[in-house]
Amino acid sequence: MTYTQMIEAALESQPGKWVSRSQIKTYMAKNFGYLDNATSKNHLKKALVKFERKGDSYKVSKALKAQKVAATKAAANKEKVAAKKAATKAKALAKKAAEAAKKKAQKEKAAAKRVAAAAKKQAQKEKAAAKKAAMKAKKAAAKAKKASKPKKATKAKKTVAKKKTVKKAIKKTVAKKK
């Protein structure tokens, strides 16, 4: 801590009042471990030049007060700007995260659509295969049913039988005519 800052602290302990050099030394000795020696007196003398003087008493000058107020305002403005930057950054990050989430959701939706389409196609294939298998089973059942029925005389046997009957009939008619 500089001597100027120590003197300011001593003067602020009694705001608006004139504070004597001895009171300043006493305050500094209590709070900052000030030792009254030649070097310290020299530093104190140089630091007291910045303050308003009336005899052997001092108080914070108007210029120093204005400077302090300006420094406080500047610090407040810096904090305000930093807070605004942080808010803007947070908002941008949130927006970026929202966009990323939206893209991810779109990708998931597209993937789900592809899976659903593939499942639908697979179901159609299975349905067609089942239909084909059912037709084969139906044909096989029809064949089995046909095979299990007793066979009737074939057409060739019928024609042979007819021819024999026709020949007999012809012979009979020929025999009758004689």
pLDDT at 128 over 90: yes
Q: SS3 helix, strand, coil % of the chain, rounded to 5? A: 80, 5, 15
- Confidence band for 151, pLDDT divided at 50, 70 and 90: low
pLDDT at 92: 94
Q: Enumerate residues 6+ apart whose C-beta is below 8 A from 11.
A: 19, 24, 51, 58, 59, 60
Residue 61 has pLDDT above 90, yes or no: no
A 10 A CB-CB count for 97 gives: 10
Query: Which pLDDT score, from 0 to 100, does residue 66 have?
Result: 79
Average pLDDT, the chain: 84
The pLDDT of 84-104, averaged and rounded, is 94
How far is the C-alpha of 147 from the C-alpha of 156, rounded, in Å?
20
Angle at 41 between CA 27 and CA 36, to 5 degrees: 55
Of the candidates 32, 42, 39, which has an alpha carbon nearest to the alpha carbon of residue 5?
Answer: 32
CA 166 – CA 159 distance, rounded (Å): 10
Mean pLDDT of 77-95: 94
Report the distance separating Cα 101 and Cα 145, nearest Å: 64
Specify the pLDDT at position 126.
Answer: 93
7 or 132, greater pLDDT: 132
Tokens at 109, concatenated: 């939706």
How many Å apart are CA 92 and CA 76, to the nearest integer? 24
- What contacts 17, CB < 8 A, 6 or more positions away? 59
